[in-house]
Amino acid sequence: MTVPGGPASAGGPAVRCRSLGVSFGAVRALHGVSLDLAPGRIHALVGQNGAGKTTLAKVLGGLQAPDAGDVHIAGRKLPSGDVRAARAAGLAMVHQHFSLPPSFTVAEALELTAARPGGRSVYRRAELHQRWQDDVAEIGGEAVLSTRIRDLPVETRQSLEIMRALATEARVLVLDEPTALLAPAAIDALFERLRRLRDGGVTVLVVLHKLREVAAVADTVSVLRDGELALGPIEMSEVSQGRLSDAIVGPASQADRAVGVEAATGTERRTLLELVRVSSRESAFEPGLRDVDLRVEAGEIVGIAGVEGNGQRSLVSVIAGLDVAAEGTVLIGGADATRAPPAGRRLRGLRLVPFDRNSEGISRRAPLWLNQSALRLVERRRRRLPLISLRQYKQQAAMEMDQWRVRYDAVTQPAESLSGGNVQRLILSRELAPGLEVLVAAQPTRGLDFAATDFVRRSLRGLRDAGAGVLLVSSDLDELFENSDRLHVMYGGRIVARFEAPYDRRAVGDAMTGARR
Amino acid sequence: MEQILATTLRSAAPLVLVATAGVFAFRAGIFHLGLEGLMITGAFTTVAVGEATGSVELGILAAIGVCMALSAVYWWVIGPLGANVIIAGLGLTSVGLGGTAFALGAIFDRRGSMFTDVVLPRPVSGTTSGPGVIVSEHSILVWITPLIVLAAWIVLRRSRFGLRMTAAGEYPFAARTAGVNPSIVRLQALLIAGGLCALGGAELSVGALHNFTENMTNGRGFIAFVAVIFGAWHPIGAAFAGLFFGFADAIGIQSQINITERVPREFVLMIPFVLTIFAVWLGGLWRRRSLEAEAGYAELREPDY
Amino acid sequence: MTGSLQRVASTLLLVGVSFLLTTLILWASGYRVSEVFSGVIEGSLTATGAATSSIRWAIPLLLIGLGVVIGFRAGFFNIGGQGQFYVGACCALVVSLGWRDGPAPLVVLCGTAAAIMAGSAWSLLPGYLRVRFGTDEVLTTLMMNFIGALVLQYLTAGPMRNPSGTGQTAASERIPEAFRITDGSGVSATALLLVGGVAVLVWLLLERTRFGLTIVLVGRNPTMARWQGIDVRRVGLVTFALSGALAGLAGAVELYGPGARLVTGFSPEVGFTAVVVALVGLLSVWGTAAAAIFFGGLQSAILFLPIVTDLPPPALVLLHGMVALLVTVKFRSVRWRRPGSPAEALTA
Amino acid sequence: GGDDDGGTAAPEPEPAETPATTAPEPEGAETPTTAAPEPEPEPEPAETPTAAAPEPEPAGELTVALVANQRAGDLGPIDDLVRGLEMVEQDYGADITFIEATDPSTFETTLRNLANQGTDIVAVTFPPMQDAVVAVAPDFPETRWIHIFGFEGGVDNLVSIGFDYYKGTYLAGILAGALNTTGKVGFVGGVSIPPLNADYNAFVAAAQTKDPNITGEAAFADSFEDPAKGRELGAALYDGGVDIIMTDAAATDLGVIQAAEEKGGYVIGGSVNYFDSSAVIGGVLLYWAELLHAQVGHALSDDYTPGYVGAGVAEGGVDLVVNPEFLANGPAEMVEIINATLAEIDDARSQIKDGSLEVPFDPEL
Ligand SMILES: Nc1ncnc2c1ncn2[C@@H]1O[C@H](COP(=O)(O)OP(=O)(O)OP(=O)(O)O)[C@@H](O)[C@H]1O
Ligand SMILES: Nc1ncnc2c1ncn2[C@@H]1O[C@H](COP(=O)(O)OP(=O)(O)OP(=O)(O)O)[C@@H](O)[C@H]1O
Ligand SMILES: [Mg+2]
Ligand SMILES: [Mg+2]
C-alpha cells in the first residue's frame, strides 16, 4: 500500500505503454499503441469519438486487461488488468462515467474507493467522517459527507471523482474527459490544480476534446485515431492546430456534411414555442421556474446560458411535459400545450436532446435500432392494420445512423456498447429527423469530438435556416455565442438577462453569476 | 400475551436468520430465491450428522459446510456459467427440498421424518407463567440470533468489507474501479448467506423441534425473502420484518384459538398478506426508493433477451 | 437464426447434463438409471397418452408464461401468475355454476370473460401500486398469490362446495359437461386453437406492433421512455392487465378443459413454473412456447416415471431442481458482433 | 401387549391375512418413534366386508399400484398404506408401485398412465380422489380399482371403502370429555377442510356429553408437514387452558406431541406410531395396511363384487384405541378414569352400530 515516493528515476518515462492491443469482438479499440509519458508533465490525449481514448485510460488504470502489450509505471511492469496494482504503483483515475455507487454517502464512497493505509476496517460513522473531512472541504465541507452520491449535483459529483483520485497521493493521474460536465470557471480551477500537481511532480494524462482546452493546459499532446497512435506525444509548442486536427480526423476523412432536415414550414416568422409567465415547482437540486417568458420563432436559435443548476433542467422538463407548469401557459406551434402530455408535444413537432444521454437519451440495454426508432413509436399514423415491420424499422434506423456516422457493428447491438460520443450521435440522428418543428437541445455537443461538435453546430444552423426553431441550452459560452440569434441567461430559475448578437462575454458572464440583474 | 411474544421469538428466529442471509445476497446483487433450499438442507444435515456423530455442534458445522458448498455451486452456475439468477435459485430450492427427502430415504432408509436426540440446549426452560415465559423454551440459537443480526449490520454497514459488497451489488463498475472483483465478492456473500441459512434450518430441526421432516421449512425461505425486501435490504430492517412475520404467525395462532365467532378462516389467514401489501405500500410512500437503486435492482431482475 | 439454434442446442445439452447429474446421484444410491432415461422419453412422448399429457401441462404454462413475458419485457417482475390463475378459474366457476342452465357457448364465453377480467383485476392492484406509488411488485404479487389461493380455498370449502356427495372434499361441483372444451385429457382441437391463437396474438402484439416495442423501451429504461413521450404509467398498467388476463384465461381453460371443477390447491406450482418457462424461453413468444412444451413434457414424464421405475418421489423433485438450476446456463460469447458489419467497413 | 380394551365389536377376524404381529417392545428411551413404523400390533385387522379368501395369482404378472394424495412420511395413514402395499408385494408376489400425487389436477393423468401401463389393481386414497377415479375407472375395465376412503358405489370395476372418521373422533371426544379438568379440549388439524372440520365438531360434541360446559378450541397449521407450527399451535392451546388435544394433521402432529411433552398436556392422535410418547393417550385408528392387503385379495378373488362398502366405526374399520403404554405407565388417576370410561365408549360404539346414536356430520367450523 505504499506509494512510491520521490521523483521518478531521472530520464525514464513515468508511464510506458508497449504495443497495447485491445479488441472487442471485431472492433479493434486499441492496436499497437506504444506511448511514453515523461514524468512531471501534463499530457493531453485527443481523438475522435470511439478512437479508443477511454480504452487506453482503462488499460492504464488496470480496469481493462490488454490482449497484447504491457504497461510500465516508473520502470516497473504492471500486472495486467489489476486495479489495485495500478493504484499501488501510484496511478489514479477519474473515469468518463461516474464511478461511485449512487446509494453511498460521500464518506462511504471515499472509504470504498480511496481508502488510505491505516484506519480500522470496521468503523463508526463519526470516525469515518473525521477521516475524510479535510478532503471534502472544497466541495462543500463536512456537511456533504453524509449526503448520498445520487443526491449530489452533477458538477459536485465530478469534483468528487477528481478529489478522490487525488486523495490517494497519486504519482500518475489519468483523467478521462474531466471537463465535460464542468462550468467554465470550474474548468479553469481544475486546470490550475493540474498545473500545481504537475509542479509537484505528478504526471498527468488528460483526455480532452476541445483543442482550446488542450492548448490551455497541456505540455504535450497525443492523438489516437481508430485505435492507433496517430501522433505524439509531441510538445505543444511543436504542433500547429491544423496538424493536430488533421491527425485527429485523418487525411482521407472528409468533414461531416450537415444533414438536410426539412423543416415543415417556410421561413415566415411564426412562434413555434412560447412560455408565458411559467412557474414550476422546484426539484431536488434545481430551483423551479419563476415567471419565465420565452419565445422561439421559426428560423431562429435561442440560446440559454447559465451556470448549471439554475433552472435549465426545469425549463426543459416543463417544455417536454415531464414537469407540469404550476402557473402560466406553454404554447407549442401556437396552440396551448400547458396540459398536453409529452406524447402530444412530440406530435406537434417538439424534439428534445436531453441533458444526460445515458439515462435520459438512450436505453443502454436496448438494441440500437430500437433506441433509434423510439420516436416513431409515439407517432400517430393512420393505417388499416396496426402491424409494423421490424425489418423496415431496422433498415430505417441503420440508414439514419449511417447518415450521422454513428459507429456501430450491427443495429441489434445494445446501445451501451457505443462510445460516449457515438451515443450522442445516435440521439441526434433520432431527434433531428423530419417532423421537427422546434428543437430543444440540452448540451448537444457535450462529449463530442471537435469534428462532430462542428457538425452538430452546423446542423443546428442548418435547421434554423430551413425554418425550424431551436432552443439551445448549453454551458459552453463559445457554442452559444457562435450559434445563438438571441441569448437568455438563467439564474435561480428566472431569465435574468436577454442579449442579442454580438455578445459581450463580460456582460453575459456577469449575468450568469448573478452579478447583474 | 407472554405466550404470543414467546411464539413470536421462536417463529421469527429462523426467519430472521435466513432473512439476514438474504440481505447479504441482495446487497451483493443476487436476487436469491434458493434460500428455502439451503434452509432445508441445513435442517437435514444438522440432524443427519448430529445423529451420526452424536454431537449437535458437529451437526451444525457440517450443515454450514454443506450449505456453503451448495452456495458455491449456485455462485458458479449464476456467475461464471451465466445462468439466470432466479431460475437457478428456484432450482436450488427444489434441489434442496428433493435432495434432502431423497437422502433421507437413501441414507437412513426413512420416509418423511426422522427423530434425533441430539438437540440444541435451551438456556431457559420450564418456566410456565409470568414474563419468564417469553424467554423460556428457546434454543440457544434464538438467543444468538440478535447477535448475528448485529454482526451482520456491522459487517454490512460499518466495514470496508460491507462497502465493497454493497458496491459490487449496486454498481459493479464502481466496485471494479475500486479494485474489487464483484464476482469474488458475490461468492463471499453467498457463502455467508449459505452459513446463515444452515443456522436457520438447524434452528428449525434441532432448535425448535427434535426431528427432521420432509419439506418442514414449509415456505419459510420465501417468507424470509419477502422480509428482505420488506426490510429494504437492511440487516436491521430485515430482522424487524422477520419479527413482524413471526408476530403475524403468533397472532394467527392466537386468533385461531381466541376468536370463537368465526369469520371464514380464509379471511383471517389473509390478514398477514394484506397487511404486508399495505405495509410495503406505506413504506414506499415514506421513502421512495431511489432511481439508481431501482435501476440496479431492475438490472438484477432483468434477464437477457 | 444460428444464434437461436445454438441456444436450443445448448438448452438441450444442459438438460442432458442435469439428467446425467441426477442419475449419477441415483446410480450412487443404487437405482437403475437406464430406466430413468427411457422413462422420461416414454412419459413425455411415446407411452399411450403421454404426448397428449405433455401438451395438457404445457397449455397453462404457456398462457401464464406469455403473461410473464409481457410483464418482464415491460420491466415488471409480475410473479403473481398463480393467484391470477386461481381467481380466474374461480370467477369462471361462479359464472358457470351460477348460470348452469344457460346456453353453453354463451356461458363459457361469459365465464372466460369473467376469468380474464378477474385475472387482470388481481394483477392491476399490484400494478397500480407499482406505477402510482412505486410499491415493489415482486412482493405484492407474491402476496396476491397467497390471497388468491385462500380465495380458492374459501370458495371450494365454503359457498361453492359440492353440496351433494359426502362433503368430504374442499372441491366444487362439476360444471355441466356441455360447458367443457376438452375431456379429462385436457387436449382438444378447440383448446389447441384457442391457445395457439392467443400465442399468435401475443406474438403480433409484442413483435409487430408499436406497443410491443414501446413495452421493451419502458422495460429497459423508463426514464428514457418518458423523455420520448411514452406514457410509462399507462404502459405499465396495460401490461399488468394483460399478464393478469392471460393467467386468468389459463384458469378458465383449466376449468372448462381438464378440470371441470375446482379443488383447493390444484396446480400449486404452475405460476412459478411459468416464470421459469418464460425465462428459459428468453422472453420470446415462440421460445416460451417451446419451453412450455418442454416443461409440460417434463411434468408429464415426472408423473409417469414412478410407474415404470422404482424412483422415490423426492428424486423427481431433485431432477426438476437440477434442470432448473442448470437449464439457463449460457455459453458466453460476444453475440452481437459479426464480421463484415458496417463498423468494420468504417474502420477499414 | 396388543390387547385392546376398547376392542372392536368382534368383526370376523381373518387370520389368514393378518400380518405377523410383533408386539412392540417398549423401548427405554422416551423419544417417540425413532424406529421405522412397527407393524400394526392390532390383532384384528380391518373387517373386509366381503370376506373372501385371497387366491394369489401366479406371481410375476400381477401389478398393483397405490396412489396417495398426501405425502408419505406422515407416520400415519399413508405410511401404513405403504406398509400394506409392501405386504401385498410379499404375499402375492406383486410388482408394486407407490405414487404420491399431491396436486389434484394430476390425479386423472396419473390414473390413466397407470391403467395405460396395464396395471392390474390400482388403489387410490381419500375423498379428494373420488372424481378422478370415478371418471377414469370406466375407461379401463381391465383394471380393478380400489378407493380407500371413497363413497361411490356405481362403477363396475371400483370398490369404494367409506369411513366415518368423525365417528371415531366422537369416541375420542367421550374419552377427552371424561379426562378433561380444565373445561377446554383442543383440536389441531392440518388444513381447515370439510372432513377435518367435521372431525373437530364430533370430537367437541362428544366431550360435551360428559360436561356441557366443555368448550372446544380448533387450530389449523395450514400444512400437513409443518411440525414447527404444530408445536406452536399445541403450546398455544395448552397455555390457553386446554389439557387434551386431538390431532389430525399428519407430520404436523409431531410438533403437537412435542408441545404436549413440554407443556405437560395430552394428545389423542391418529396413528399407533405415536404410542411411544408418554403424552399420547390413544388414537383413532384405521387399519390401513390390513385393509389394503385384504382389498387387493378381494380384487383378485373369484367373487369380486364392486360397489360401496362402509368400513367405519360401525363395521370396526375405525376405532378409538387407548395407548397400552399409557394404561401401563400413565398417571394413576387418569388411568382410572380411562378404565371407567371404556364401558361408556363401548356403549356409544354399539349405539352407533345399531343406529340409535346419530353422530352429526357438520363440515362447517
Ligand atoms: N465494452 C465494450 N464492448 C464492446 N465494444 C466496446 C466496449 N468498450 C468500447 N468499445 C468500442 O471500442 C471503441 C473505442 O471505445 P472508447 O470508449 O475507447 O472510445 P473513446 O475514444 O473514449 O470515445 P469517446 O470520445 O466517444 O468517449 C469504440 O468503437 C467502442 O464502441
Ligand atoms: N437499495 C435500497 N432499496 C430500498 N431501500 C433502501 C435501499 N438502500 C437503503 N434503503 C433504505 O434506506 C435506509 C437507509 O439505508 P442504508 O442501507 O444506506 O442504511 P443507513 O441509513 O446508512 O443505515 P445504517 O445507519 O444502518 O448504516 C434503509 O433502512 C432502507 O430503508
Ligand atoms: Mg471515452
Ligand atoms: Mg444511518
pLDDT of residue B146: 97
pLDDT higher than 70, residue A493: yes
Quick check: A159 pLDDT over 90? Answer: no
D partners (3+ CB pairs within 8 A) are B, C
Higher model confidence: residue D278 or residue C345?
A: D278
Q: What angle do CA B187, B190, B196 make, to 5 degrees?
A: 145
Phi (first) and psi of residue A338, to 5 degrees: -55, -40
Do residues D12 and D47 lie in contact, with contact meaning Cβ atoms separated by under 8 Å? yes
- Beta strand residue intervals within chain B, DSSP E: 113-115, 211-213
Q: Write the residue with the smallest CA distance to atom 25 of ligand 1.
A: A49
Q: So what's the pLDDT on residue A211? A: 79
| A453 Cβ inside 6 Å of ligand 1 | no
Can you count the helices (H) and strands (E) in chain A?
A: 16, 20
* CA D187 to centroid of chain Cα atoms: 16
Angle at D307 between CA D302 and CA D313, to 5 degrees: 110
The residues, ordered by sequence, that sit 6+ positions from B279 with a Cβ below 8 Å of its Cβ are B230, B244
Q: Which phi and psi (to 5°) does residue A438 adopt?
A: -140, 135
Q: What are residue A44's phi and psi, to 5 degrees?
A: -100, 145
Residues of A in contact with C347 (CB under 8 A): 27-28, 226-227, 407
Region B232-239: mean pLDDT is 90
- Mean pLDDT, residues A150-176 taken together: 81
Considering just the CA atoms, what is the radius of gyration of chain B in Å? 19
Ligand of minimum distance to the alpha carbon of B153: 2
Kindly report whether the global pTM for this prediction surpasses the value 0.95: no
- Just give the CATH number of B2-298: 1.10.3470
**Phi/psi at A498 (nearest 5 deg)?**
-125, 130
Q: Per mean pLDDT, which of A444-448, B257-261, D147-151 is the most reliable?
A: D147-151
Query: Cβ–Cβ contacts within 10 Å for residue A481, how many?
Result: 18
Q: Supply the pLDDT for residue C335.
A: 32
Q: How much is the pLDDT for B285?
A: 65
DSSP codes of every residue in A295-342: EEETTEEEEEE--TTSSHHHHHHHHHTSS--SEEEEEETTEE-TT--H
Tell which wins on pLDDT, A53 or A283: A53
Residues in chain A: 517
Burial class (CB in 10 A: 0-12, 13-18, 19+), C217: buried
Neighboring chain C residues of B285 at a CB cutoff of 8 Å: 133
Nearest CA in chain B to A94: B177
* pLDDT band, residue B296 (cuts 50/70/90): very low
The C-alpha of D187 sits at a distance from chain C's nearest C-alpha, in angstroms, of 18
Contact A290, A493 (CB under 8 A): yes
Is B98 within 8 Å of C318 when comparing Cβ atoms? Answer: yes
Indicate the residue of C153, C316, C326 with minimum beta-carbon distance to B83.
C326
Q: How confident is the model at residue A384 (pLDDT cuts 50, 70, 90)?
A: low
In the numeric block, which cell numbers belong to residue B151? 454482526
Query: Closest by alpha carbon to A273, among A349, A367, A180?
Result: A349
pLDDT band at D140; cut points 50, 70, 90: very high
Res D200: pLDDT? 93
Distance CA B106, CA C22 (A): 14
> How many B×C Cβ pairs under 8 Å?
167
Give contacts of D65 with chain C, Cβ < 8 Å: 307
| Cβ-based burial of C115 (10 A; exposed 0-12, middle 13-18, buried ≥19) | buried
Please report the pLDDT score of residue D47 as a whole number: 42
Which is nearest to D38 in space by CA: D354, D313, D275? D275
Sheet with strand A335-336: strands edge to edge: A292-297, A271-279, A327-332, A335-336
pLDDT 10s digits, D286-337? 888 888 999 999 999 888 889 998 888 888 888 999 999 999 999 999 999 9
**CB–CB of D103 and C267 under 8 A?**
yes
Q: Which among D31, D217, D219 is the nearest to B115, CB-wise? A: D31
Which residue of C lies nearest to A28 if distances are taken between CA atoms?
A: C347
- Rounded to the nearest 10 degrees, what angle do helices C81-98 and C104-128 cross at? 150
Distance in angstroms (rounded) separating the CA atoms of residues C152 and C93: 10
Question: Which of B233, B236, B240 to probe ligand 2 with, by most ligand atoms within 8 A of CB?
Answer: B233
- Residue B63 cell numbers, joined: 450443515
d(CA D80, CA D89): 14
Largest interatomic CA distance in chain C: 82
DSSP state of A105: B
Q: What is the DSSP letter of C129?
A: I
- What is the helix, strand, coil percentage profile of chain A, to 5? 35, 25, 40
* Chain B residue with the nearest C-alpha to that of C14: B83
Report the DSSP beta bridge partners of residue A37. A15
The minimal CB distance from D236 to the residues B214, B257, B265 is found for B257
- The tens digit of pLDDT for each residue in B49-105 reads 999 999 999 999 999 999 999 999 999 998 888 888 878 998 999 999 999 999 998
When pLDDT is averaged across residues B220-224 and rounded to a whole number, the result is: 90
Contact A125 B302 (CB under 8 A): no
Task: Sort out which chain C residues have CB atoms less than 8 A from D117's CB and list them.
Answer: 47, 307-308
Closest CA to D47 of D229, D286, D304: D286
pLDDT band at residue A5 using 50, 70 and 90 as cut-offs: very low
Chain D residues whose beta carbon lies within 8 Å of the beta carbon of residue B211: 227, 254
Contacts of D209 (CB under 8 A, 6+ apart): D173, D174, D177
Q: Look at residue D270 in the predicted model and tell me its pLDDT.
A: 85
B216 to D233: CB separation less than 8 angstroms, yes or no? no
**C281-299 confidence digits (pLDDT tens):** 888 899 999 999 999 998 8
Return d(Cα A235, Cα C142) in angstroms, integer: 65
Q: A383 falls in which pLDDT band (50, 70, 90)?
A: low
> Taking the domains of chain C in order of start, what are their residue ranges?
58-347
What is the distance between the alpha carbons of residues D299 and D294, in angstroms, rounded to a whole number? 9
CA distance D359 to chain B (A): 22
DSSP state at residue D183 = S
Q: What is the CATH number of domain C58-347?
A: 1.10.3470
A54 Cβ below 6 A of ligand 1: yes
Which 3 state secondary structure label does DSSP give C291?
helix
- Distance (Å, whole) CA D281 – CA B119: 25
Give, as one character, the DSSP assignment of residue A357: I
CA pair distance C274, C291, nearest whole angstrom: 9
Provide the total of helices (H) and of strands (E) in chain B, helices listed first: 12, 2
Whole-number Å distance, alpha carbon B147 to ligand 4 midpoint, is: 19
CB B254 within 8 A of CB B4: yes
Q: What is the CATH number of domain A271-513?
A: 3.40.50.300
Distance of CA A486 to the CA centre of its chain: 24
Q: Which three cell numbers stand for residue B174?
A: 464502481
- Best CA proximity match to C239, nearest among C83, C72, C87: C72
The stretch A256-267 carries a mean pLDDT of 46
pLDDT at A4: 41
Residues C194 and C61: their CA atoms lie apart, in Å, by 14
Tell me the DSSP string of B75-135: HHHHTTT---HHHHHHHHHHHHHHHHHHHHHHHH--SSEEE-S-----SS----SSGGGGG
Nearest CA to ligand 1 atom 29: A50
Look at residue A117 and tell me whether its pLDDT is greater than 90. no
| 3-state DSSP helix/strand/coil % of chain C, to nearest 5 | 75, 0, 25
- Characterise B47 by phi-psi region: left (phi > 0), alpha (psi -120 to 50), beta (else): alpha
The x, y and z cell numbers of residue A485, run together, are 440569434
Write down the pLDDT at residue B178.
86
Residues with Cβ within 8 Å of C196's Cβ and at least 6 positions away in sequence, in order, are none
Look at residue D46 and tell me whether its pLDDT is greater than 80: no
Per DSSP, the three-state class of A206 is: strand
